[in-house]
Structure 1
Amino acid sequence: MMELWIPITIAAAFLQNLRSALQRHLRSSLGTRGASFVRFGYGFPVAVLYVAALHFVGGYFLPQMNWPFVGWAILGGLAQIYATIMLVYLFSLRNFAVGTAYSKTEPVQAALFGLVLLGERLQPGTVLAIIIGVIGVMLISVARTPLNARSLLAALFSRTALIGIASGGVFGISAVAYRSASLSLDGPNAVVQAAFTLAFVTGFQTLYMLVWMVFTDRAEIGKVIRSWRSSALVGLAGVLGSAGWFTAMTLQQVAYVRALGQIELVFTFAASVFLFKERINRLEVLGCLLILTGILGLIFV
């Protein structure tokens, strides 16, 4: 029988891809910070309603906050804000599929952070599956580069690559922090713990970014309000995806969840080709297949 965290992760990956596609669309009318803020600002009310429904309709008691929870949640929230900003900025440097691919070194980095911060270890087969997936990511990263050593090195250490890898690393820190925050709660089950963590984090992120924009770019706030129709969709997709990630990461180690989450890149390529009409070459297709191979290896290892 398939473990529950697997379908939850696949659904979260699909919703995350949908959110990224909507954010890319918003980049034409909003700045990088505005397009990043809508994920949190418009998602927060939905997260609160989700917790309220679990409590008042589902009858679950809400967990009590503690200082480890607050610390991990704030660390994860800040990391996710800056990782999101880097990812949105990437969309202006490369196409939608490749911009997302650069951030997909996250599983390896998340595995390292999980080992260092939480003492979590992986099985050899899992490590191999993750490495195969990351090789696929690297192929995508250099797919539009002339096949010679100098050009490949230049591509791998380019500004775009470094921003993408940094984005993946900061997302990895965020994921490990969220798992730690959720596990520190004494809740009735993983769903309630994840929902409570999500509501707290999105509330903090909304306040943080709102204050930031008040002091640095007030005009962007007006743009965010005027684009409420598209922005609300980003917030909805983002918070539903985050609910899936938080729940899956409460049920399973971060490295496993994020490695399976590489399936997002398959959804990304579909959006890139059919929605944004971007051309995909053979190496990018091969990279995508390797990522799928790594995902299947992760599930059946």
Structure 2
Amino acid sequence: MEPWIIITIAAAFLQNLRSALQKHLQTSLGTTGASFVRFGYGFPLAILYVLGLHFLARYSLPDLNGTFWFWALVGGLSQIFATMMLVYLFSLRNFAVGTAYSKTEPVQAAIFGLILLGERLTPGAIAAIIVGVIGVMMISMARLPLSWRNLFIAMTGRTALIGIASGAVFGISAVAYRSAALSLGGPNPVMQAAVTLACVTSFQTAFMLVWMLIKDKREIGQVLRSWRSSSLVGIAGVTGSACWFTAMALQQVAYVRALGQIELVFTFMASIFLFRERISRMEAAGCLLIVTGILLLLMWK
């Protein structure tokens, strides 16, 4: 099995764990605070990760350049706003369905990868991605009588649009991170990904801290008081991001993010057993179609 596959599955599990922890935090911190903790409590670990690779593994540090900083800032800002949309989405639908809406990302990542990096997909891969999109459509229709009118309403409703927008911005951030890591031309993909992660999370922490100082200073105090649970989000977030960044330095973004849809398996387990949420048959069938699309993508890539 190729390394990027194992790394991506680990990233998906950690991302689901982080999202579940953020859903709990949202009730006490709000959308902004719950979004901030993944960066604020994660960036020290990202810096330690780079230092460990440099001093213990003897990996040399790459030279940062203007292209790297451009893509790092684009990716960092995109991820902040995508995370805020996803956390807000959890308050509109249940955990599993909210996550599934954002999983239109592979389609959009493939488009952005083609436009920005010139990365093309095979016809089989495109067909597999379409299967996943049909699954998303089924989820959006799960609570409405089946008709073309209701399908249009479901796909253009507030929840769907926020979820799809979240997936689009996550797709932009993923392509930007791959571009940033590749621009370093460093000693190896692991170090390139680690340096990208450390720089991005440090910038995101500073940006969101200024944002909260301007918008709501009380949120900062709440984040500090919830350090026990918030630090768990930071740990899960930064370790998951390290896996995502490394996988995307090794493989095209569309393939990595498509395989990352395996997160839905972990999401359903969390939704049913942790949050005690009920999932309808059509919602389950839609998510199974998304997973089927992932498996087909790996077979036909």
* TM-score normalized with structure 2 length: 0.98
Structure 2 alignment gaps of length 5 or more: none
Deviation at 1:127, TM superposition (A): 1.0
- Once residues 288 and 210 of structure 2 are traced to their aligned partners in structure 1, the CA distance between those partners, rounded to angstroms, is 43
Q: 2:144 aligns to what SS in structure 1? A: coil
| Deviations, residues 206-252 of structure 1 (Å, cap 9, x unaligned) | 00000111111100000000000110000000001101110110000
> C-alpha distance in 2, partners of 1:141/1:245?
27
Whichever residue aligns with residue 37 of structure 1, its letter is F
Instruction: Give the corresponding residue for 1:132.
Output: 131
1:283-294 alignment runs, 5 A limit: 283-294=282-293
Which moves more between the two structures, 96-105 or 289-298?
289-298
Q: Which moved more, 1:258-267 or 1:217-226?
A: 258-267
For the aligned residues, what is the CA RMSD? 0.8
Aligned to 1:117: 116
CA deviation after TM superposition for structure 1 residue 161, in Å: 0.5
Aligned to 2:6: 7
- TM-superposed CA distance for 1:156, in Å, is 1.1
Task: Work out whether residues 76 and 203 of structure 2, in 8 Å CA contact, stay in contact via their aligned partners in 1.
Answer: yes
For each residue in 1:84-112, what CA deviation from the matched residue of structure 2 results, as whole angstroms up to 9, or x when unmatched? 00000001111111111111111010100
SS in 1 for 2:184: coil
Provide runs of 4+ in structure 1 moved above 4 Å: none
For residues 89-139 of structure 1, the C-alpha deviation after alignment (integer angstroms, 9 at most, x for no partner) is 001111111111111111010100011111110011111111112211221
Read off the aligned partner of 2:75 and give its amino acid letter.
G
* Residue 18, structure 1, aligned to residue 24, structure 2: no
Shift of 1:141: 2.0
Q: What CA deviation, in whole Å up to 9, does each residue of 1:1-45 have, x standing for no partner?
A: x11111111110110000000000001100111000001000101
Amino acid of the residue matched to residue 118 of structure 2? G
| 1:238 equivalent in alignment to 2:255 | no
Tell me how far apart the structure 2 counterparts of residues 262 and 155 of structure 1 sit (CA, whole Å). 22
Distance 1:195 1:117 in 2: 22
Identify the residue that residue 30 of structure 2 maps to in structure 1.
Answer: 31
AA aligned to 1:203 is S
Find the counterpart in structure 1 of residue 279 from structure 2. Answer: 280
Which digits, 9 at most, give the CA deviation of each residue in 1:144-163, with x for residues without a partner?
A: 22222222221111011111
The equivalent of 1:190 in structure 2 is: 189
CA distance in 1, matches of 2:267, 2:73: 29
What does residue 167 of structure 1 align with?
166
Q: Which amino acid counterpart does residue 204 of structure 1 have in structure 2? A: F
Q: What does residue 221 of structure 2 align with?
A: 222
Who is 1:62 aligned against? Answer: 61
Q: How many residues align?
A: 300
